[in-house]
Structure 1
Amino acid sequence: MSSEAESATDVPVAERSTRSIDLESVRAIARKDFRDAVRSWLFWGLSVFFFALLVTLTGVISYFGGDVILAEGATTEVLVGQVYGVGSLIIPVIALVLGWKAIAGERESGSIKIMLSLPHSRRDVVLGKLVGRAGVLSLSLLVGFVLAAVPVAVLLGTFDPTDYVGLLAVSILYGIVYTSVAIAVSSVTRSTTFAAAGAFGVFVLFYVVWGTIATAVGFLMAFDYLPESETIAELTMLFQNLNPNAAYGNVLSLVTSAAELGEQEVAALETMFDGSIPFYLQDWFALLILLAWIVIPVALAIYRFDRTDL
């Protein structure tokens, strides 16, 4: 190894962690991650998977509900709802699998020390891994959607490209959310075993624990274990909407014609809040929630990884 690389590895951790982010280093790390995914056929496999998923869901819609849906002129809207139902489960799983070994695997194998000697700062590594893994998921979604566009349009009969593009954009954003969370988990663990456990814990948190807490509060209020309070009810609804899975559906309502809430549910909320739905229950706020779920985990990951002994 060259003397420059050796001197880079001798720089104290505290000093190196204070380096500003080098966009070239971030790009280099992301490019390597993406090329590895392409060489392993992971990228192409995901692209084919998303293509098959879209065509299959469209075929189901066309075959089982074609006449009724076509009569209502809501085929793409129904597709958005179907993709949301399936994608809200599948996309997080794929993102967590893509991200859980990103940094923990490098630390476990020892290659992280070589990477940091090139030189890349720890911040560059975290951001580069996020960009690389998010790029694999995002571009595979893009390729899958583009390839499926013609079959979907043919099967549906009536096709709204605005809804279709909106569905793609929000799904990509949703995938980046879980990629960011996965990278954060990977950055705070020393082994892939703990990283896998952490990724599984994230999935359980958002799909089981989060909803259970909200449901439990409702039961406690119904059986008088908690006082019936508008404040508690509002905080519970806010808590539910902070879940990225709920935010995914709400943002889809914002950018497509598919409504997350029916007219009766909207009317009930307006009645509950005297005609004005609070900002934190509106669809535009859900977009901020998704963005926060991208920024906050990776910011915490950078902070923690900067101060971790390798």
Structure 2
Amino acid sequence: MSLVAVTKKEFLDSIRSYTLLGLIGLSVVLSGFWSAIQWIPEMSQPVNGNLDMLALLNSMRQPALYLIPMIGIVVGYKAIAGERDSGSIKLLLALPNTRREVFLGKVIGQTAVVSVAILTAYGTAATIAFFTYDSFSLSVFVAYTLLSALYALVCVSIAVSFSAVAETMQWALFGAISAYLVILVVWDAIGSLLTVAFVGYPIEVGELPSWIAVFLYMNPSTAFAQATRAAIPVTREITSFAFLKANFWVDWYGFIVMGLWIVVPLALSYLIFRRTDIE
């Protein structure tokens, strides 16, 4: 076997999961629903620009916020820990595979699985938009889909990293779920508590200390939103960071933060996995 073979095996094994198929179905329903009603969220300022384009973007963004991390966890947490629990990791490593090939094959294969889920859901929204909207932007659809695949890689990297260092699948699942809650709930909650403690409430635009702003910017979901604003400027109409305005930070830094969330967890977990005795 090789990296390509491990990736292919991982993809085929994961895509058959009933849980994954259920989440894909949920993503399709949500994307189709938001696209069909052509809903655009109310913002503090009037929304300008192509309303059809904004409605399409919002129909893709709604499932992306919560379901991409969830799908990444579902497919990623058992990537290596599941093999160790079943004992199949010994067979996998007994074949002419290095641990690096196994590790990277898991990451690439799982990311491909999540990307298929994303494309299926977004494709549903795009189909509805194409036939019912007055206008349809293929370039915006492709750009947002690619950005979502990058975000999927971030989520899969975190989940597989837990899977690589956990001794059991249960601990890998616990770590991945904890990461999901931290990213989507706890991180911003901590930021709010810090803001109230050091600034007070209510807070005015521009009053947020730089160190709190940096802390909030380092959230992977915030980085994804900022990278999207940088690559697709029209999304600024429906994505606002009212209090996260700092002169030293620009939207494209979101790509750097996402890159760090890919590289750092994978590098650290691979170093541990490479030195772990497989029993």
Please report the TM-score for the alignment, with normalisation by the length of structure 2.
Answer: 0.85
Query: Which whole-Å deviations, capped at 9, do the CAs of 1:251-310 have from their partners, x for residues lacking one?
Result: 111122110337xx49x93xxx6xxx21xx211110111122112211112111011122
Answering whether residue 144 of structure 2 is matched by residue 167 of structure 1, we say yes
One of 228, 236, 240 as aligned partner of 2:212: 236
Which residue number in structure 2 is paired with residue 245 of structure 1?
221
Structure 2 segments unaligned to the other structure (5+ residues): none
The one-letter code sitting in structure 2 at the alignment partner of 1:258 is T
Correspondence list, 1:1-310, <5 A: 25-40=2-17, 48-61=25-38, 73-223=50-200, 233-256=209-232, 257-259=234-236, 260-261=239-240, 265=242, 269=245, 277-278=247-248, 281-310=249-278
Structure 1 position 231, deviation (Å) = 11
Instruction: State how far apart, in whole Å, the 1-side matches of 2:269 and 2:3 are.
Output: 15
Instruction: State how far apart, in whole Å, the 1-side matches of 2:127 and 2:186 are.
Output: 40
Instruction: State how far apart, in whole Å, the 2-side matches of 1:214 and 1:43 are.
Output: 32
Structure number with bigger Rg: 1
The one-letter code sitting in structure 1 at the alignment partner of 2:216 is Q
The one-letter code sitting in structure 1 at the alignment partner of 2:2 is S
Instruction: State how far apart, in whole Å, the 2-side matches of 1:94 and 1:40 are.
Output: 11
Instruction: State how far apart, in whole Å, the 2-side matches of 1:63 and 1:252 are.
Output: 17
> Could you say what secondary structure the match of 2:192 adopts?
helix
Task: Note closer, same or farther for the CA distance 1:139–1:220 as it changes in structure 2 (3 Å cut).
Answer: same
Structure 1 segments unaligned to the other structure (5+ residues): 1-23, 225-229
Structure 1 position 214, deviation (Å) = 1.2
Residue pair 1:99, 1:186 contacting (<8 A) in 2 also: yes
CA RMSD in angstroms comes to 3.0
Instruction: State how far apart, in whole Å, the 2-side matches of 1:48 and 1:98 are.
Output: 15
The one-letter code sitting in structure 1 at the alignment partner of 2:163 is S
> Could you say what secondary structure the match of 2:2 adopts?
helix
